[in-house]
Chain A
């Protein structure tokens, strides 16, 4: 697993990266009430705002951590946004992206690094 400073996690499988937000971020956001995901097939660039997430407390944008193509999105969290609070780093992933450039991964943190980052 890799982690960004924007509180996203990435898990790789055969060149496709599954992306979600960390449990820490979900806790900070509070109860999630709305999620808007990108479309499958969208070509996105790193730092594009591709997900909108609204909690009882805040409206947030999730940035694409990589350049690439969206291959799958998790409709289950659109229907049931509270899943994000229940299992942020498991079932409640947001989207899968086939990366066209994996170099940003070098800048992302491992689990120990992220734990240190959030203090």
Chain B
């Protein structure tokens, strides 16, 4: 789609930019909303998954006979119940149900469907798995070392040079210019290594689904997912079904943050339902969620940055090593692309290595790959700026990417908002507020690409003049409100006259998952275009009634009006009036739009964090936090603020508390919310937000996605703040109290 066609209109909005109540709100405050685990079916069985107790083991044999003989057990499945996966989907299947090897603690090896959860659990204990325990590796650098236990021999792709460990799956490189020549011009070259732990998306709703399959092969699946079309396509492929025979309905979704952009239990529930001939419900418990669903990658990153004493970056170089669990596909590519994206650099290079380890396969987590890279780069820039006695915001302004900058990953930026966020940060009262004892202030920038992609919207006008928007992307944070607002804006009718519903996979064409901050942009764009199609149709109907040319009818303030030479000849006809007689003018009225949306428009943010570190315990408290981000156009500002705040707090958790802890045995030691501690209300202050609106030229209203950028800066903003508070540069996340205390005491002793 050409950018000029969608150039943002200079217009004043009536609905967009206001803060109406969300349409799913009442259901969600009264307990009526139906999430993944809230559905049941007559004759339903309960599914349960048996998981590997070993980090790495060959599965020599599985004997399910005793489990099958238990009263109440209706089906048991193992990998033998699945046909070979189609090309490209082998890893997805293997992750859902292990084949030759169990590759991590918690890897599914068998599943049972029984008449009760208690019987299913009892049956799991009767399944005998003959394991040959193999050496394992869970650390990224250890996995890259020569002689490391190999998960998959011979799967490294052609990008990996000779001599690397078999666990290195691929290598990527981005950049331009001459690094060494650039470094030679610097007054100081900083070389520093950084590490980040794996963290989990931490959605409060465990994965849940309910599958039904008839003997005719028609199946229905209810599940909590960020993309039910993805679930349909994946499950159909893994079960050897036609996509059209599987109808997937997305439940209300209790958080995802990227972690529900793939399948885990859904193909298993379908296989059990097929074998048992009865509906099967599977609900994970929290331990399963942490052991066997996507955390993000852990990382190990080396950075070299050269800077002149007046703060100009002369060259920037980084090597990023991400382990993404047991299969290829860590987000090191996006980490490598985003690492230096905020800066206008003559000489820049990033090299990334995708590494496998005996951990659960990573799943996308909000701006996948970017927060770790930004942690390393923004920490290094902060250290250089401080070393020269320069203001870290001034240094960033001096190097900031602008419209026309050739980005570190290739494309040239159109109008972008980084500079505006930096200037807003400088002007914000937070930046100049005094600090107390043991407190420090940190600042960092962040970038996210934002996605578009396949999208369908149908907009139906009902006979009484209300409007239903039908879209195919699960609403994870208020997007139904945003779609209704954009439809109301475009049609010139009140927000209350529009209801947006998320359709099942039978109702629309393909829709990409709710990810990449794509929904408000792409589904919004399709909603606006669908509304425009409906308006064109309504104008055509009215032209017929009035007996004038279609071109002589315009749409204004929710009504068709005669224009040009006919202006004023007829009283306007409202949407409701046109709808009431639609049957007599050609039939029902609808608009629809199907598109592979392009022009998403990148997003930048600057965060300011104040922390206070207790020198006796190493505990860090967030004292004040401000998020400044470009939203393009904030459709529903309250939900934009919510995205800013939620992402910032997830990043704060990543910086301070959260980590996957593995024992020497390769077993996850903290698979529960008590020991895997996400931020709680008493950990935090209010999170201040500043919404900037630099219109995205690729969207009719200027909208950019806002969901992901907010998690990119906090790791570095908090680390820079703790470093300022303690006087010790923190390079290893999370900055848990023992680590901070050791750093502070080490400094005192040194």
Real binding pair: no
